[in-house]
Amino acid sequence: MTYKYKSPLAPKKISNIKAIAGVDLYTFSAGLYNKHRSDIALFIFKEPGSIAEVFTKSSIKSHTLNWNKKNLKSRIVKAIFINAGNANTFTGHQGAKSITDLAKKISTQYDVPVNKFFLCSTGVIGEPYPIKKILSAIEKKRCPNKDWLNSAKAIMTTDTFPKGVTRSFRFNGVKSHITGISKGSGMIEPNMATMLGFVFVEIDMPKTLLQRLLTQVTNDTFNKITVDGDESTNDTVILVSTNRLSPDNAIKNLNDPQIRNFKNELKYVFKYLAELIVRDGEGASKLITVVVKNARSEPQAKKIARSIGNSQLFKTAIYGEDPNWGRIVMAISKTYEAIDEKKLKILFGNYKITQSGLGNRKLNMKKIQNYLKKKEIKVVVDLGLGNKTYDILTCDLSHKYIDINASYKS
């Protein structure tokens, strides 16, 4: 399961990822892939941090999520372990016991209380969890890895490039950082988060506020992307505060005047990571923004935007640079939402495709075809029914998506 190509939508340069003070990073290779590469990342916090987490809503979940939910009650973290190559989902007693064994190992080796140990897994579902390989890989304690980009590389599966970013800003006159990494390429359509994401901040705040901010920002970012409409059994986003800034620079409540600035910086990191996932969508060649505006309600706008973004016919048309806007009409129609055809407007970029219930016969289709040759496409659906808007980020569907997923385990 290795790929020699890099997504054509990948950023030209990977952002510099700064280490967060008070966190030691370790990477290991347990041989969970056919070639030698790091497949484990371990974050150890020198002092206990505050943790917030959101999970998939899938009815079948990884054993890792059940473990984390139990430990989340205290909202205190001392270690986060991540492995790629195996999802530890649908693995029965063996998978559950493996987590207990792993927690004991980390506890002994790094002085981490088992109830402050969190973990995430990503990879193949239903395969026995390779606990012996993992325990053997982490047996020998090593010096911390100073390059945090390596943590983003270690958690990749079908990703073609590592995903990470650091945002530096001043908080009450003191320089502060937010660093985040994520992985995800296929099986992407969130219903809380998507993929795996880990974001670290230095500002102290009440644990309940940390959770509230995570939920809000996730809904505005990771919950607004889709690659293929499939939600994983392991989707998780974790937000950790190392509490390294002095109490004078803490956020005390939602009314704190500094919270807006901090939330904007946090949202920037989340949004950037979410976009990188879509840019690395399996086989993707075009990044597509779908905007549904002037809806009766946000749920209506959301329902229609998702219907378009997940339509295989729409996505293949964009891949083929075919201005077949009838597929957008179909995707709107299948939501069963009441639509006034005469008010409905569909646009590719700034090109108005429909008006007054008809296709725009005066439109130069050659210009539309040229527009669709771009790597970044915007589709706007104006319902003309209200004032609510919802947007999502998606990608096209290519032959390469089939190639990747037809041989995922080989």
Cα–chain center distance at 328 = 26
**From start to end of 222-286, where are the E strands?**
236-241
CA R_g for the chain: 22
CA dist., res. 106 & res. 26, Å (int): 12
The dihedral through the CA atoms of 215, 220, 223, 227 has a sign that is: negative
Secondary-structure percent of the chain, ordered helix, strand, coil, rounded to 5: 30, 25, 45
Retrieve residue 46's tokens: 């020198």
Q: Is 194 annotated as catalytic?
A: yes
Instruction: Establish how many alpha carbons lie within 13 A of residue 163's alpha carbon, considering only the half-sphere containing its beta carbon.
Output: 33
Contact of 333 with 339, CB cutoff 8 Å? yes
Determine contact, residues 234/120, Cβ cutoff 8 Å.
Answer: yes
Pick the catalytic residue: 122, 160, 194, 236?
194
Tell me how far CA of residue 94 lies from CA of 75, 131, 214, 263, 344, in angstroms: 27, 9, 32, 41, 54
Q: What is the DSSP letter of 335?
A: T
**CA-angle at 86, arms to 82 and 91, nearest 5°:** 115
Residues in the chain: 410
Q: Are 277 and 182 in contact (CB under 8 A)?
A: yes
351-352 and 163-171 beta bridge pairing:
unpaired
Residue 298 has φ and ψ, to the nearest 5°, of: -65, -40
Inter-residue contact 188 to 279 (CB < 8 Å): no
Measured distance CA(58)–CA(189) in Å, rounded: 11
> 9 is written with which tokens?
């939508």
> If residue 162 lies in a helix (H) or strand (E), which one and from where to where?
none
Mind telling me the catalytic residues?
Answer: 194
